[in-house]
Structure 1
Amino acid sequence: MQSTQAAPRSAANHNFAPWLGVIFLIYLLLVAVGMIGAGFKWASGGAEGARQLFAFATNPLMGLVVGAMATALVQSSSTVTSVIVGLVAGGLPVPTAIPMIMGANLGTTVTNTLVSMGHVGKRKEFRRAFSAATVHDFFNLMAVAIFLPLEIMTGYLSKTSEYLANLLVGGSSVSIKGLDFIKPLTQPVLDVFRDLYAGLPGITGGVMLALTGLAFIFLSIVFLGKLLKRLMVGRAKAILHKAIGRGPITGIFSGTLMTIAVQSSSTTTSLIVPLAGNGLFKLKEIYPFTLGANIGTTITALLAATAVSGSHAFFALQIALVHLIFNISAVILIYGIPQLRKIPLRTARRFAQIASRRKWIVLAYVAGVFFIIPGLLIAITA
């Protein structure tokens, strides 16, 4: 009898252990964002120093390029947006950070494009997979082409996010009062690392603190994604099969939920690409699901914003809300207007037809759009 009772207990403990890992990694993410903000502020000498340090990115195009290239390199928009929240907490102005957030949306699409190359040996499969991957690219390019000029001309994203942040926390002069419990939890660890680097000369301590935070963000998101993928992907796949064929609203909603569950839009869209390649779903069905992934990935920046306290807590929340508003607005506008909705579909189909005949175009596209052109722009501007 005792051995019979022990087995269920052992299984329960085994099932609970991964969730403890999830809790720890979320805590590590919150600590890491605090480290980047504190380290950036320390190294740059406060808000004014931060503005000077990021003077090269005050050009919106350069901010866009920096966000896109950083995300393409680390293969995670969640990592980059969390870092941007930390930088805003350290004094980076919100208007400078907005194009970077948009760039992160562009950079994240490289992952599913690379996944589609797994079908390169079979022409029809590759055409279907590549069109499913690049429809995400072309939608995000359209979103930036519409909303970056709109933001420059009207301040739509900055004003809307400021209004919503005011509703949530009551003004830029206060911290996020309802989330003040985060600071007491993360501050002891932050103080340990601050003391560890306190003896380093000049700005080195601040740089090391920020780099440590960056490393912790990368580690926490990579392992969090793996843990959640193991815990949730089986269920997520079942949801995916049930939801995709039920219409665009359900597709967007299920894409959002699945991305929140696995904490990675790259995982969500990469799961769908092979299914498209094998002909299980049509491009028209997959399209809204990938848009839901764009919305779901914004949860990480919102979570990161809860780690920020003090005078820049409001602005950290604001930039996280920019990410959310940008993606929701793009879905409503582009997918909501039939003439605009068709452009990414048609472009992806046509590009996939060309790429299936000339495979070198795929490598040129990935290397040129995500790495070479951004790198050249940064080199020219620097």
Structure 2
Amino acid sequence: MTHTDLKTTPLCAACEAAGGKMVDFHGWLLPVQFKGILAEHKAVREAAGMFDVSHMGQFFVEGKDAWPFLQYINCNNIKNTLGVGTYSHILTEKGTIIDDAISFCLTPEKFLVVVNAACIDGDFAWFTKQAKNFNVTVRNESADWAMIALQGPKAVETADKVVAGASDLPRFHIKEIELFGARGYMTRTGYTGEDGVEIMLPNNKIVELWAALLAHGVTPCGLGARDVLRLEAGYLLNGADADQTRTPYEANCGWVVKLAKENFVGKEALAAQKAQGLKEKLTAFVLKSAGVPRAGCKIFVGAEEKGTLTSGTYSPLFKGIAVGYAALDVTAGTEVEIEIHGKRVKADTVKTPFYKNRV
């Protein structure tokens, strides 16, 4: 099978050499698995695993109005303290979710914003449009940077062997690093629910990092394990659990909305929705018997259809787990039925995250 029409990361050949089974992920050629999803899941939950996340986007926002601009384009309060990162949602004027992103303060007038791969072009167009009234420059440097996510209870101690000071970096912070003769960035973040770091380097240096981590016994992991891990941790999948038809309130992320801010894109729409109340909300479920729930499966209480799943998988920790948009009367403790391949399977409604680590 050929993938000549897909974009590749600088780690593509290294992933293939490590036994990666390569698939199309939003136009990128990426590994879905190496040794297997269960083995990779186990490595991240018990030791350390690494993911090629070089397809993610990097925007540099710079200028006198860098922080006011990010405050305006994000619904959360962006911290302008040196080295601190803030998770937030970028919204349309209707209050719906364009993307979820993390903004890191490099200096009071320079921020690094990490965005989702499938959203890079749309996000950059939106940033550029909104920046016209601010003294700020937005640069899309996504094509220049590669990134490895090192995750798991032993991830940080392993990172210390390769990058000085990893264990000294607080959670959700960033630091500039020198590695393999190049400047890069290290953040204490991830998408698995475990502790760890994400390391950004120029494209021509990332293979050296991959090789160094392999030499320290880190397990290469693919998209399959990443999806199970992130769902267990209760993280949104952009384009599935969150998109431009849903608001942060509906996506069960009201905590990122700061209506007390002077102004931000989508504020009026969100204030109105909060006043009027929701009709549906992202809700979590655990199957009570065998089955693998998937996006698109219907949710029932008795004969009444109550919603639709947006993400679902088999979890080694919980068996069948899923999230989906359901009516507000489907609350934690409610027994529902999930329709899988025409058969209804009983499930319990629960609160997220399904899994909470020791960090």
What's the TM-score, normalizing by structure 2?
0.23
Larger proportion of strand: 2
What's the TM-score, normalizing by structure 1?
0.22
Larger proportion of helix: 1
Report which of the two structures shows the higher radius of gyration computed on alpha carbons: 1
